[in-house]
Amino acid sequence: MPPTLELRNLRKTFDGAKAVDDVSLSVPAGTTFGLLGPNGAGKTTTIRMLMDIIGPDEGEVEVFGHPRTRADLDRIGYLPEERGLYRKMTVREQLIYLGQLHGVPKKALGARADDWLERLGLANRSKSKVEELSKGMQQKIQLAGTLIHEPELLVLDEPFSGLDPINQGLFKDLLAAHKAAGKTLLFSTHVMEQAEKLCDHIALIAGGRVVLAGELAAIKRARGADRYRLVADGDLERLPAVPGVAAVAARNGSVEVTASPGVDGAALLRELVSFLSVREFRSAEPTLEEIFVEVVGDAQL
């Protein structure tokens, strides 16, 4: 199966400054992909080029196995960072209008709008004007309008920005259901905790360039290959002097031991059990936030 989305060598410059500099990435079908990076890294510009809101100076965008066309945009759901609804429309009118823009058959529009209002607990507000809703209710309507045409690819720019905890949970449930249906999700964020919980694949962007990309689980395994979590009784102060130990750090009731280059876990464990009563010794994968700080920090030096 071809990737749902391929970006090849995208570049975009504004007033002489490179906002996106040779960005390439591949989003496998049926996955949740995180486009991650600090503010100003180029995430939103990349997404706007994907959505044909702005054109790239160079590079190609492919969706669903072919060069993107305007018709393909009806198969994509897009929630921009700058949210906006027609405040004078009623809630139901708003959802029907957004469905019409994406080509939902007229006969299906009413039923889909009513279904979404029921799912979101807003059925009793269907005739209310958007401006009469709370900010949280408006956020629910915005997401429903993004999903009402049942897109194959869902693109969200900073989707959790400004959400209260209840709506964060709702958004996560809806995104999980979207993925469970075999569809693809791409979202940008600078909040690593959210990305770590949701993403299968990631691309870290810094200074407009991709500095790390791939399957999240594989990245964590690779970057934690020489780190071990140790829980033991005995003379822990001896650890820095043990042959094969490169570094030692306290971690929430345990010790993280970094092995020297070329030293495997079995060899290191043999050294440790010679003077410690070891209760736990296992690979210590870094968190996504730790990877982010290390990789993005190095890229900005």
Alpha-carbon span 62 to 66, nearest angstrom: 5
Q: Are residues 152 and 258 in the same domain?
A: no
Which pLDDT tens digit goes with each residue over 128-148? 999 999 888 888 899 999 999
pLDDT for residue 298: 67
Alpha-carbon span 216 to 223, nearest angstrom: 11
pLDDT for residue 127: 95
Mean pLDDT of the chain: 91
Q: Which pLDDT band, with edges at 50, 70 and 90, does 299 fall under?
A: low
Q: Are residues 209 and 186 in the same domain?
A: yes
pLDDT for residue 266: 92
Mean of pLDDT values over 206-214: 95
Last residue of a domain, which of 178, 200, 220?
220
Mean of pLDDT values over 56-72: 95
Domain-embedded: residue 295: no
3-state secondary structure the chain: CCCCEEEEEEEEEECCEEEEEEEEEEECCCCEEEEECCCCCCHHHHHHHHCCCCCCCEEEEEECCEECCHHHHHHEEEECCCCCCCCCCEHHHHHHHHHHHCCCCHHHHHHHHHHHHHHCCCHHHCCCEHHHCCHHHHHHHHHHHHHCCCCCEEEEECCCCCCCHHHHHHHHHHHHHHHHCCCEEEEEECCHHHHHHHCCEEEEEECCEEEEEEEHHHHHHHHCCCEEEEEEEECHHHHHHCCCEEEEEEECCEEEEEECCCCCHHHHHHHHHCCEEEEEEEECCCCHHHHHHHHHHHHCC
Domain that holds residue 9: 5-220
pLDDT of 301 > 70? The answer is no
In percent, the amount of the chain with pLDDT more than 90 equals: 68
pLDDT of 65 > 90? The answer is yes
Alpha-carbon span 169 to 161, nearest angstrom: 13
Tokens of 146: 């993004």
Q: Are residues 101 and 249 in the same domain?
A: no
How many domains does the structure of the chain reveal? 2
Q: Are residues 229 and 187 in the same domain?
A: no
User: What's the pTM value of the predicted model, to 2 decimals?
Assistant: 0.84
First to last CA, the chain: 39
Nearest to 183 by CA among 147, 224, 158, 218: 147
Q: Are residues 32 and 127 in the same domain?
A: yes
pLDDT for residue 300: 62
Domain-embedded: residue 292: no
Q: Are residues 194 and 267 in the same domain?
A: no
Domain-embedded: residue 213: yes
pLDDT for residue 27: 97
pLDDT for residue 228: 93
Domain-embedded: residue 120: yes
Q: Are residues 232 and 210 in the same domain?
A: no
Which pLDDT tens digit goes with each residue over 3-23? 999 999 999 999 999 999 999
pLDDT for residue 166: 83
* Torsion sign across C-alpha atoms 109, 119, 188, 24: negative
Is 260 in contact with 246 (CB distance < 8 Å)? yes
Q: Are residues 199 and 242 in the same domain?
A: no
Q: Are residues 205 and 268 in the same domain?
A: no
Q: Are residues 10 and 125 in the same domain?
A: yes
Which CATH number does the domain housing residue 153 bear? Answer: 3.40.50.300
pLDDT for residue 270: 94
pLDDT for residue 281: 95
Domain-embedded: residue 19: yes
Q: Are residues 159 and 250 in the same domain?
A: no
Q: Are residues 93 and 41 in the same domain?
A: yes
pLDDT of 162 > 80? The answer is no
Which pLDDT tens digit goes with each residue over 251-277? 878 899 999 998 989 999 999 999 999
More reliable by pLDDT, 251 or 208: 208
Domain-embedded: residue 190: yes
